[in-house]
Structure 1
Amino acid sequence: MDTTLERKVVLIIDDFQNMRAQLSQMLESLGVKRKPDVAGTAEEALELLRSRHYDIVLCDYNLGEGMHGRHILDMARREGWVDVSTVFIMVTAENSAEMVMGALESGPDAYLAKPITKELLNSRVLKGLKRRSPMIPVAQALRQGDTRQALMLLDTMLETGRGERTDILRLKAELALDSGALELAEEVCEAVIREHPVAWAFTALGQIATKRRELPRAEGFLRQAIVVAPQYMPAHDHLAAVLELQGRSRDALEVLQGAVGRSWRSVLRQRRLGWIAMQMREWALACSAWQQVVELGRPTAEARAEDCFNLACSWLEMGELARAAGVLEEMDEVAASDPLLRWWAMAGRLRMAVHVQDDKEPALDALDGLMLRSIPPAEVRQALVDILRRLGEVTRAEVMRQQFQD
């Protein structure tokens, strides 16, 4: 197991040149032979992560305007540029509970508060390497799409005592769950809990029970996870989903409100909250949630045209026509890469016409023109049908519903 720094490939991400130089000098003095790559912006960082595999990433949390460190880690993990063998350390000058929660929710290997000493950096990096280096063969198997081989390697690691036992068991449970091997995932989680109750194992058992449609049992596991570790946010998200499946939207709303109160920097969590708030006609809460979706999702292109549409609809229900119009005007900028942009923009224009009758006929003419060029996508169709009904265009709505039925 190689936990020395000599041959490690390192990336430093920080928007201040002096900090990049300082960290680079520290690492070289600690034994890194190859000069670390550096990035001053999120865009530069993502390009470097896309182009090569790094053993160690030191990433500042606050990179100024646009994406921050959590965005980079989430995207790099999603794309496979940061894997189970990568040491990812989040660095920041901030220490507020809100920021720390946001940084840690993505699960970096360590969190370093500035100013950073060489001794502290060395300690965190070596601890990360001790944890991640044994996972290199597993990461290679997963990059090749060989989950079976990865599971076999994890079993060998358990037998030989190589690597961190908790990490091995957790990854084994995750791989089994993702591949549909529910009995294996359940067996691993139950074994972990017998040794020590941990939130991720209870949460995984909740996911397993959900897949089996054992919803009350799933709820029980997820509530246990929250008792064990209230700050473990996936348990809150899965619990809300289970409550929704049971038809308990009000309970799900309360769970998500509590989760957002703990950690609000999640597009998916805010989007789910926005949807349920709209269903419950909690318009002020819906406006707040959709606003966060748009603002959080803008730097990473996670924001969709539909999010802007939902925010505009929520403002309209609050009687805020000017704010709704402003959201629709910004839709082109916020969701420029969304292939459904023109259709959600059309839905937004029609929705505004519900409140501004002078806009009704021009909006309907624009809809007819758009439909001559393309078919309304399934994702937008029901919204268009509902809006046409609200406009009093019942026949037109019924024709659209029947003509484009899946």
Structure 2
Amino acid sequence: MQLLDNEILKARAVVIDGNATARSVMTAQLRALGLQEVRQLARVQDARLLLEREPHDIVLCEMDFEGAPMSGPELLDELRREQLLPASTAFLLVTANASYARVAEAAQSSADGCLVKPCSSAVLAERLAEVRRRKRELAPLYEAMRSGDAAQAAAQAEQRFTARRSYWRYAAKVATELWLRAGQPERARAVCEAVLAEGPQSWARLGIGRVHLAKGELAAARRQLEASVAQDGGDADAHELLARTLIELGDFEAALQEMRTASALTPGCLLRRQHRGALAFYLGARDEATQELRQAMAMGRKSRLLAPSSLLLLALLEHDARELRGFAALAEQVAGMAAADAGSARLRRMDGLLRLLAAAQARRDEEALQAARALASQSEESGFDLEAAVVTLAAWVRLPAPVVDAAERAAVVRGLALRHTVSKATTETLVGAANGDAQAIELVREAHAEIGRIAEQALGASLKGHADAAVRTLLEQGEKTRNAKLIEMSQTLSRRHAEHLDNAAAHLQRAQALQERFCAAITQLAGIGRAARAPGGVALRA
């Protein structure tokens, strides 16, 4: 036995192939190279669950699985996008189809290499040795990434790219991602532009779009991403990133169309199916939402990528359709998640909503009403974010009319709306959560208009030389409504007109206190998480 390298005895490998003979041959080849631990899997679904839970050093994965919901490249792309595959893992795709198109597809994926079956032991050893050599060469960069200092690691990656040292193209991707994470989008733009100057690269085009998003330049991001989609209509990442941009702009219908395209291009992608289902839910496309979320459940029942929010939305759809058996199964699953993570206020809230609806189904009206009031009482808490408002609104619009006083319900809905209508996107999210209830939708839109009027009048007053009065109004209304837009605007005007204010320091201190108390980060819009990972980004888990 000739060892592949000095560290191979400690390595863990997995072979994923639907053909038992191919699995056995590749497993024997790996063992002959010195690997002691080699697992075999026939189904791509099982591979996803294994790789989500346990890191492996080497993965050999077939490209095509007959009858499976996803391919090998799709499995790899999803694991990398969601930061579930360490950068140090050597992931090679394997195919029996030696056509130019098939090998080119593998080369364009994020795999470390491609092997054509049948593959000799010598070829396998050569490819693995090269991949592991590259991993070792980039070890200092991985170590810098693990340190947590994104700017330092970005500078190191950019230096490798600029000097055109080995693996400089990969270093350019890493530098772009890290500069964005370090809050320095212009440095990321510079890297992307340098790459594009040498030739077209889809990831660099998307990188420019992500730079615009990071700077809040939504219109520019939309133009950039629409141009990317026009250049390459088959780039699922471009469609998804455009969908996310359109969500931020509050154009949910256009976003759903782009997410449909992204999902159709990658039918095995569990997250995109969930995102499509969530957007359909918030647009009232109930049949589509139910179909996509049920399919996501079937694909990823045990997967870490199956989001609790997807279970909640599907449970609401089952409740509204009077599919009580399906609702009960989902409610039980959410209850189990809440019990397993007792410290999660988010899961407790979701569980509370579904228990409330179960009580309403059983005509335990007083129990349902008290549960709805308990949800509403949390709206004063600092961590009561947009998702919490959606859960609370979903409860109140589903209470049977005879159960709750109309004035009480209107007061709850108006309070939620005044706090959370900070943009068109958050407003449309609340509208979508209102379950088609005309009165609730009207209250949400009225609150949005009211917040807009307050902000506009304050800005007008500051421009006319009445900055102190404008800031005081924003602080008073911000405290009354708990609206982040008004609170943050008071901070902006306090800094801009500090020399004209009676006590700028006191205004800023009060605004800071209000921000800490009421301005919870928006982690989701239209049921889609605003995670650090962005389509088109490179996985940085080292």
Q: Same fold (TM over 0.5)?
A: yes
SS in 2 for 1:260: helix
Mapped to 1, the partners of 2:271 and 2:121 lie a distance apart of: 37
Which of these residues, 57, 78, 86, is aligned with residue 82 of structure 1?
86
Which of these residues, 187, 202, 206, is aligned with residue 205 of structure 2?
202
Letter in 2 for 1:207: R
Mapped to 2, the partners of 1:209 and 1:64 lie a distance apart of: 40
- Return the offset for 1:131: 4.5
Q: Is 1:305–1:345's contact at 8 Å kept on the other side of the alignment?
A: no
Change (3 A) 1:353 1:277: farther
- Tell me which of the two structures has the higher relative contact order, counting C-alpha pairs closer than 8 angstroms and 6 or more residues apart: 2
SS in 2 for 1:336: helix
- Return the offset for 1:188: 0.7
Aligned partner of 2:265 in structure 1 is 262
SS in 2 for 1:13: strand
Q: Which moved more, 1:229-238 or 1:195-204?
A: 229-238
Mapped to 2, the partners of 1:107 and 1:170 lie a distance apart of: 12
- Return the offset for 1:216: 2.4
Aligned partner of 1:336 in structure 2 is 336
Letter in 2 for 1:344: M
Aligned partner of 1:11 in structure 2 is 12
- Return the offset for 1:332: 2.4
Letter in 2 for 1:197: P
The CA RMSD over aligned residues, in Å, is: 4.4
- Return the offset for 1:202: 0.9
Report Cα offsets for 1:345-380 as digits up to 9, x if no partner: 4423544777x6xx3x31542563797899768444
Mapped to 1, the partners of 2:123 and 2:134 lie a distance apart of: 17
SS in 2 for 1:307: helix
Q: Is 2:372–2:395's contact at 8 Å kept on the other side of the alignment?
A: no
Identity of aligned residues (%): 23
Q: Is 2:278–2:289's contact at 8 Å kept on the other side of the alignment?
A: yes
Letter in 2 for 1:347: L
Letter in 1 for 2:329: E
How many positions carry a matched residue from both structures?
A: 386
Change (3 A) 1:266 1:137: same
1:321 and 2:312 are equivalent in the alignment: no
Report Cα offsets for 1:127-185 as digits up to 9, x if no partner: 53464342111011112223344234324433554322321111111111111111110
Mapped to 1, the partners of 2:290 and 2:106 lie a distance apart of: 25
SS in 2 for 1:337: helix
Q: Is 1:74–1:106's contact at 8 Å kept on the other side of the alignment?
A: no
Change (3 A) 1:105 1:363: farther
Report Cα offsets for 1:60-106 as digits up to 9, x if no partner: 677999999766885688567612x43222457899xxxx9x99998
Change (3 A) 1:21 1:149: farther
Mapped to 1, the partners of 2:253 and 2:70 lie a distance apart of: 33
Aligned partner of 1:388 in structure 2 is 396
Q: Is 2:316–2:327's contact at 8 Å kept on the other side of the alignment?
A: no
Change (3 A) 1:44 1:176: closer
Letter in 1 for 2:92: I
When Rg is computed on C-alpha atoms for both structures, the one with the higher figure is 2
Q: Where in structure 2 are the equivalents of 1:259-338 lying within 5 Å?
A: 259-315=262-318, 320-322=321-323, 325-333=325-333, 336-338=336-338
Mapped to 2, the partners of 1:226 and 1:65 lie a distance apart of: 28
Q: Where in structure 2 are the equivalents of 1:6-405 lying within 5 Å?
A: 6-9=5-8, 10-14=11-15, 21-29=24-32, 32-38=33-39, 48-49=54-55, 54=57, 56-59=58-61, 82-83=86-87, 85-91=88-94, 107-112=110-115, 116-118=119-121, 121-122=124-125, 124-129=127-132, 131-158=134-161, 160-315=163-318, 320-322=321-323, 325-333=325-333, 336-338=336-338, 339=344, 340-341=346-347, 343-348=349-354, 350-351=356-357, 359=362, 361-362=363-364, 364-365=366-367, 368=370, 378=384, 379-390=387-398, 391-392=400-401, 393=404, 394=406, 397=409
Letter in 1 for 2:268: R
Mapped to 1, the partners of 2:370 and 2:109 lie a distance apart of: 45
- Return the offset for 1:197: 1.3
Mapped to 2, the partners of 1:281 and 1:373 lie a distance apart of: 24
Q: Is 2:51–2:84's contact at 8 Å kept on the other side of the alignment?
A: no
Mapped to 1, the partners of 2:354 and 2:211 lie a distance apart of: 39
